[in-house]
Amino acid sequence: MHTVALVVYPQFQALSLSVGSVFECANLLHGEPVYGFTLVSEAGGAVMSSQGFSVNTEPLGLAGYDTIIVSGYLELGEPSPELLTCLSSASSQSRRIASLCTGVFVLAEAGLLEGKRVTTHWLHVPEFKKRHPTVRIDDDRLFAVDGQIWTGAGMSAGVDLALAMVENDLGPDLARRVARKLVIAQRRGAEQSQLSALLEIDPKSDRVQLAMAYARENLRSDLSVEALADVARLSPRQFSRVFREETGKTPAKAIESLRIEAARVMMETSRHPVEVIARETGFGDRERMRQAFLRAYGKPPQLMRDELYETANGHG
């Protein structure tokens, strides 16, 4: 059995607890228990969350765990020396050591991240770089895996991280079934941006929101200004003006962002050739997709796919 321990401490972020649901559903769908999930803390006993309720925990040092996940916290504080000692000692007995959001600071303070590639919430990256300049940190990944160390960007990204663990342990089919059970619309891979294209575009009016929702569901279709204006029930001229006022972007630039995001997800979750991905996401051909990726990331899609492969196989 895979034993998983979620490390909590006073004022831990309560959303950290959601990772437990992933392992619970994996047990249910697998047909027999494959994960044991335990809440642990430095000394055991009741631990108060950031939302004012407490949880019962076991002492971290009493047993070895296959996977240790350090919860996040809303305000950056200093972990106790005793907790750091417990983590350092426990890490030598564990296959995986993980963190959720600001939990990466705890792992760094415990001396577990030297030479590792990690991530955390983009808001906290500047502070992390200031405190731990020798650790390589990426501010635009949902999660990062480097050997024994797994780090998640934000609290909700902890579910993506846990799903990746299930996939690593028991295969992609079970991970997909768990995602469906949890009503997760889209399994997100490590390389996906922390900020979705729709959130960045952020239209205000119902009409523009309707047009962008239509665009996201119909990337292969004609998404010209005229087509989107028809969905929004505005004239093309009105639609272009309102769209730029609400988002600061042109409709064409916004559609390109949606297509890039969709193409990146397909590269992470499928083995389709780049030509197929370009067609399925509305770019039409490989060269148009290549130019869009160069504008967005400064690198072509094939290079990004090679980097994804290296990361997945423990070379990143």
Catalytic residue among 70, 87, 101, 227: 101
Handedness of CA 84, 90, 91, 97 (dihedral sign): negative
Instruction: Let me know: does 140 contact 192? Beta carbons within 8 Å.
Output: no
Rounded Cα distance, 307 and 315, in Å? 9
Instruction: Let me know: does 158 contact 99? Beta carbons within 8 Å.
Output: no
HEC string of 130-182?
A: HHCCCCEEECCCCEEEECCEEEECCCCHHHHHHHHHHHHHHCHHHHHHHHHHC
Task: Decide if 25 is catalytic.
Answer: no
Runs of H (alpha helix) within the chain? 19-30, 81-91, 103-109, 125-131, 157-170, 172-181, 197-201, 206-217, 225-232, 236-247, 251-269, 274-280, 286-297, 301-312
Catalytic residues: 101
